[in-house]
Structure 1
């Protein structure tokens, strides 16, 4: 057999065995291909050195082994072991510089490639839209920051960019504390005014959702939309049974476009948090995640139908008789279309200044505020998106709520605390508001400075009470909690956002409307409704039953404790290492420390034996102690290399 073929077969066998041993020894996700190629390279490079060392030890000469059989096998095994150690060192070095990655599922690879293509195409579309509307960096610098055309250009670009950007503009339109009035006014037009889709496209979508010809359901339908919102557009229609309705049909390409846009926003938020302090401070990824969740829910109209019916069932029991929720027709509604009662009126966002007499406007604002407070504090179910486009004023002064894609639910335990907090805000009682905030929110771990929180809240209350019409107390309160790293319950956060949005909507009707002052009048009545005799009796019965049950079990617990004391079997369990994860972590640290200490000891012992010339000669120039030192040193080196697997895991 040719020598080159023998060398190739030995190299192949060594590389396969070495790759398997390396993966088992390191206990990390090292790729088979990497381990195999590295073993081949090390074998080719180390083979001349191995042959030279065996020759110097008088084990190998002229292409054959010359030492005794057992001694020759021992020397060859030791040489192969050191070559294996070289493979482990090479693989570890590669893992630190270039960590291995698992082979990905081909389906995932193709899907990710399609998403990258969609993202790249969408990036190009957004840049082209911005360029057409003069929103490039060069154009913005040339026109200047105070250009009066900038808000209109932004609105036009958002309308053209589609669903996600229009919805983003709607969210920004309620942030008077962040954006200038010109941008707020421009973004407010996005509440209702978006670019409509052609009737032919809308008709096809309606027919697809109905699953039958349009004429079988509607006696007539207006091809000109009443309004074009961010996700859908609305057409007036009449059912064959004679009821006047509106058809809210989702834009056909809305879902695909929203998926790509949200993917882009999530990646941008992640990059911003990695690169900037302000993004980490504001929690950009969490904000985008919340925005994504809300927008995805808004695309499923079955949720909106369910929310509408839930709020309709709460309205008749309320005293807010002038608040109206339109009826929906579930038999004609789907995930992408809603058929509901037609509402005649003017959205608050389109009310002209002075369109409603001041006295009547204040009455309407008071009634709407009372109704919303009752929904939040008494019923615990409320409309969570009360921007000016979702509140419609009828000719008779009745107020109708529309677009129930976002509905909040506030649990009873939170409702019992909300009223005292509102009363405390109205009375400028910073101590009471701070105490309620500590009950509502979870303070951060470690030492918490309650004095700082109380001082921040007190400053906000004092400032608001001296300029109520100029500052939103709920946004300021949220900012104070966020500065003090308070963990806000999601339901409470949604309440504050709803009230902040409602205040902006009411000021469209009454520019100087004082929500805090009105809350002082509303809160006591809401508090009385929460503590009716029936609820008080039921609560007393519930707690008395619980206390009686605890007292009934107390003698048995005391007896068990005293028996354990008498028998000397009382034990105390420490929670510090109770979790299996905690114990596993400690075991891992102790194991790596033990392995490292043993490895260092073996390496030192191997070096000391290697320089010792004592013991019988195994070959002409190699004493037994030197040979034994090489074996001990090799074992210590392999243990040290294995202890590095923890570093590889932390890096991955």
Structure 2
């Protein structure tokens, strides 16, 4: 058989064997093709050096390898081992700069390609919108920062539902963003150009899964309102009931999916590159925003929110009404509910109502909202004037229940004393309640005296300035300045009350919301102190205390018995979990592997340069051969340890 065929077969066998060994020894999913090609290249490049080494060791003579001598077999084995090591060094280097990936599912590859196309297209749209609105780098430097909030709001309105919703969420973060940006983001609206009626009709038919005449006696092709995600049509059921149909735009969900993917990638990259993003948990915030937006796109959740708020309002006399939802006609992308009659407060002309009637309605609205927040724990969280409709009989109908807040009972118990302390100008009590509700941000220096001083200042200002300032905005500013983390539910309460002030002043331009709220809260506090609730709470805590007392003697006996027997032990929680113990064991194992590998390499070098000793062949000392073997073993151990470290780093 010709020598070149033998060399080719040996090279192929070496490449396959090296790929197999590399995948097992390096403990990672190295690509088969890459490992085999790398090993083949190493074999070809090292072949001249191998022939020279075998010739010097008297193993390669007259164009053939002497294999009948045991010494020759040892030389062949060690040379193959070093070739394996060289191949693995190259593989590790390639993995560091260019990690290999397994073969993906073709369907997944196509899906990811389509997503990348959608992301690229959306990126281009967003960049074009930002540039058009003056948010480019050069435009921003030319215009300065004064017009930044206005330009940002305009760009968000143009970018669509995801960015409008993101802006609305950011507008509630008074604890993070500056006031001028908060005020600008609060003006974001969802108004948009309506989709043509044939497209809306097709979407309604698809959600009904039957022709429209089988459900509706009539439906107005002209929408009552249109937003980036949906539009609303007036209709009448076959029973004669007037309703509104809120239909989601067919392409809204796909755009939101792409935008949320982009936001998640941007948040991940921000956490990787910046410390502030990691401190605020940017990835977790993006995930929570995505979850909330997906829920808002599911109108079945809005229908459930509507019924929950209806139940809360029904428990106390109120002028508020909540439209009925037709659950049998409601789907994830379509909502059918009772049509509210009247005029939205956003369209109410100044002095349209007599002053006394306007003040009476404003008082009733504020009392109902405070009752929802402080007593019931369920409230409408988006009470801008367009979501409150004034009926001819003086009742107020709430609409759009995509944002409904929930305050747990433990926070409501703290919220009432907070409002009473504000009403009583008690800065000590308000400070103590705030410290029970809020915690200092990580790494922030905190001064209780400074916080109490700032709270006392705003309470004094409010009690002497009347209706000119909003105490809830001022309190949030104080908490942000003192680096306190505000619970999301409490921040939502403050934001709702702050936005409610503008709604109330649509009824009465000079309405003092803060004064009225602080006036009615002490009376509402009695509702949380009913004899029945006090009795139930006493019974619950008494049962818990009794159970703890019954278990106390056995626990004391166990401890004293262990002390008497000398068997009392203390468990360290720092290494209690399996994950922590595995981490420590892995760390020590890797350290041991590195120490042994370095020791073998150093010993191999020392043996390789040592003079004297028996000769393995005429030109090769036995110590040098043994040092080569030990060095090879140490190199393989270091390669394995290095590859594990690289995997953890990536």
Is the structural similarity TM-score above 0.5? Answer: yes
Q: Tell me, yes or no, if structure 1 residue 399 matches structure 2 residue 393.
A: no
Q: Tell me how many residue pairs correspond in the alignment.
A: 645
Are the structure 2 counterparts of residues 460 and 283 from structure 1 closer, same or farther at C-alpha, using a change threshold of 3 Å?
farther
Task: Select between 169-178 and 2-11 the one with higher mean Cα deviation.
Answer: 169-178
Q: How does 1:213-612 map to 2 (within 5 A)?
A: 213-271=211-269, 285-319=283-317, 321-443=318-440, 449-451=446-448, 453-454=451-452, 457-458=455-456, 461=459, 469=467, 472-478=470-476, 480-481=478-479, 486-612=484-610
Q: Distance in 1 between matches of 2:59 and 2:285?
A: 71
Q: Is the 8 A contact 2:167 2:185 kept in 1?
A: no
Instruction: Measure the CA separation in 1 of the matches of 2:35 and 2:315.
Output: 72
Partner of 1:35: 35
**Does the CA-based 8 Å contact 1:249-1:337 persist in structure 2?**
yes
Change (3 A) 1:456 1:37: farther
Contact 2:597 2:638 in 1 (8 A): yes
Alpha-carbon distance change, 100 to 500 in structure 1, aligned in 2, over 3 angstroms: farther
| 8 Å CA contact 1:362, 1:510 repeated in 2 | yes
Q: Higher mean Cα deviation, 162-171 or 539-548?
A: 162-171
Tell me the residue number matched to 2:57: 57
8 Å CA contact 2:170, 2:182 repeated in 1: no
Per mean C-alpha deviation after superposition, the further-off stretch among 496-505 and 617-626 is: 496-505
Question: Deviations for 1:553-580, whole angstroms, at most 9, x for unmatched residues?
Answer: 1111111112112221111111111122
Q: 1:618 offset after TM fit, Å?
A: 1.4
Give 1:44 shift. Answer: 1.2
Matches within 5 A, 1:113-192: 113-126=113-126, 137=136, 161-168=159-166, 178-179=179-180, 187=187, 190=189
Q: Tell me the alpha carbon deviations over residues 14-47 of structure 1, each in whole angstroms, 9 at most, x when there is no partner.
A: 1221222222222233222222222111111112
TM-score by length of 2: 0.89
How far is 1:610 from its partner?
A: 1.7
TM-score norm. by structure 1 comes to 0.89
Change (3 A) 1:226 1:542: same
d(CA) in 1 for partners of 2:334, 2:564: 73
Greater Cα shift, 117-126 or 548-557: 117-126
Instruction: Decide whether the 8 Å contact of 1:28 with 1:648 is kept in 2.
Output: no
> Contact 1:423 / 1:519 at 8 angstroms: preserved in 2?
no
Structure 2: segments with no counterpart, 5+ residues: none
8 Å CA contact 1:174–1:501 kept in 2: the answer is no
**Partner of 1:647: helix, strand, or coil?**
helix
Kept in 2, the 8 Å contact 1:174–1:504? The answer is: no
Give the deviation of 1:270 after TM superposition: 4.5
Give the 3-state SS of the residue equivalent to 2:336 in structure 1.
strand
SS of corresponding position for 1:236: strand
Structure 1 residues 367 and 8: alpha-carbon distance in aligned structure 2, compared to 1, 3 A threshold: same
Q: CA RMSD in A?
A: 3.4
1:143 and 1:175, CA in 2 relative to 1: closer, same or farther beyond 3 A?
Answer: farther
Unaligned runs of 5+ in 1: none
Deviations 1:389-415 (A, max 9, x none): 212222333211111122222221111
